[in-house]
Amino acid sequence: MMAAPKSTVRVGCHSGFWGDTETAAAQLVRHGDVDYLVSDYLAEVTMSIMAAQKQRNPQAGYATDFVSVVMGPLAREIADRKIKVITNAGGVNPQACRDAVLKACEAAGVRLKVAVVMGDDLAPRAEELRGRDIREMDTGDALPARIASMNAYLGGFPIARALAEGADVVITGRCVDSAVTLGALIHAFGWTMDDHDRLAAGTLCGHIIECGAQCNGGNFTDWRLVPDYDNIGFPVVEVERDGSFVLGKPDGTGGLITPATVAEQMLYEIGDPRAYIVPDVVCDFTGATYQQVGKDRVRVSGAKGRPPTDSYKVSTTWPDGYKLSTIFMLGGREAVAKGQASADAIIKKTRRLFREKNLGDYRDVSIEIIGGEATYGPHARTQDSREVVVKIAARHDQKEALALLGREIAPMSTGGVVGMTGSFGAGRVSPSPVIRMFSCLVPKTLVPVTIELDGRTIALEPAAKSGGFTMDQLPIEAPPLLSPATSAVTVASATVPLIALAYGRSGDKGDNANIGIFARRPEYEPILDAEVTEEAVARYFAHRIEGRVSRWRLPGIHGFNFLLRQALGGGGMASIKADPLAKAFAQMLLDMPVRVPAALAKELAA
């Protein structure tokens, strides 16, 4: 039974990843006046780490910070304030997480009902799914022979059901990041599976706050405008029954909330903004709008939804050899050239040693001279730097080979190019496993979901009603066209960096990077349309990407989202590149020169 619908509810998010600041939960519990406290701890890489932990210890495999930092110290205050808590901290072992939370509550002298959502872990069924010829979504590859973890991204309705059954704390395994918020809103407002626009609005709400303070000025393009990073406020949303919401933060905290900070977060880690797909709904964010309604308060509305697809996305991680990454500083004149020569010598020498020991060659080598703007490729401007950090990273099938590489770094300080000051860290760097991600689709009918609460197991109905669409059959409208933009450049006689015209945010999904940009002023949109094309972005990042670039329009913010395929050297833990998560890609693109009329260039320079 759903809760009686409320006019508004307040949701605060205290964690955007496993390792977020320990100050956030207390800030929101004590000063956020929240009805629901939610958190996101899981990334694809995190799941593989947790799976390895559980193999070593059956009681491990969850985000221990949730117990030690949140529930242990704050259980009494959470109970007194009647705050409902929702988290995906369960990782690959939500039952162990529940047991630890119950012990923490007992130690605090409080009784809270703790539910777990089960069903996302498909690793025990890998062979069954292999028999169904499950294929990778982008490449079409078959399921790897060995897997470390295999989890379906569940949605918000199981969370809502757990709350309806009386849970005070809901712990999930893998779910879509926004589901911890959407589940709370489904329960609070009594939304049904057919309320597609509301589910899309709730998903956008969850997506905005899922990375914690990142929507409140964290990682913002105009970073100098953001006050008090040392005390940044975490997000609190006031959500109305139709799903529209106002984003704010606790009084007296740092950070900055403007339409630009919020729209940047909307762009984070998305693909086609007309079809942001979660288990409960297919969202269209292109018409969403962001309105300043007070100091550090922005109202968000306008998301639209359509029936969901018939499949869950499943993230599988699998081991693929080993990698090693090490850095050392080198200084003096010609530091960039000396750094490159040092790294080349190390790789050349170790290759010779590999041949002598029959170890085989490297699978991949990455040499990046940090301080020489290696990530910028041909756009680098600091070839005359006098101090650099040399990063050498490599992949190999054999751990022994990379251990040999690690041993050959330090000898270069006495038998190599002048200027090496020594490597960072204590002792030699050790090789680590390469963990790759394999994303596939599994029919929802093959993924039964249950809730465990008070010793009961509750079987859920099938996931949100499907529109019967597969991923390739989604009915998507063509984006609206702008008026012809050629006039914006035909009279151009000057260039400015893109950052003068636009904001930007970038993120990763596996081996793909997304970059979203939007105009600082609506009249700049035609220039962005004409100058920042798929072809222009592909040329600018040609030194980093192997796949194609796609662009989609977002009229609500006068912007565009780009997806750069095969851009991250495998992505996540598989990558040996600097910035394997595309955190700085938008910042690089914002430095790209774009053509503008001379009068505008003069105005921007003033």
Residue written as token pair 């050392």: 328
Contact 151, 122 (CB under 8 A): yes
Distance CA 168, CA 160 (A): 11
Q: Give tens-digit pLDDT for 365-389.
A: 999 999 999 899 899 888 789 999 9
Distance (Å) of CA 77 to CA 30, 64, 72, 340, 377: 8, 20, 10, 56, 52
Helices (H) and strands (E) in the chain, counts: 18, 26
H-helix or E-strand spanning residue 12: strand 8-13
Token readout for 333 is 């004149």
Q: Please, where are the H alpha helices in 450-552?
A: 487-490, 525-531, 534-540
Cβ pair 86, 38 in contact under 8 A: yes
In this structure, is the dihedral angle defined by the CA atoms of residues 540, 544, 548 and 554, taken in order, positive or negative? negative
Tokens representing residue 519 in the block: 């105009």
Rounded to a whole number, what is the distance in angstroms from the first to the last CA of the chain?
61
pLDDT of residue 484: 45
- Looking at residue 45, what is its pLDDT? 75
549, 534 in Cβ contact below 8 A?
yes
Find out whether 37 and 82 touch, Cβ atoms under 8 Å: no
Q: What is the pTM of this model?
A: 0.93
pLDDT of residue 424: 65
**C-alpha to C-alpha distance for 431 and 80, rounded to whole angstroms:** 48
Please report the pLDDT score of residue 463 as a whole number.
60
DSSP code of 211? Answer: T
Q: Which residues of the chain are under the pLDDT cut of 50?
A: 1-2, 426, 481-487
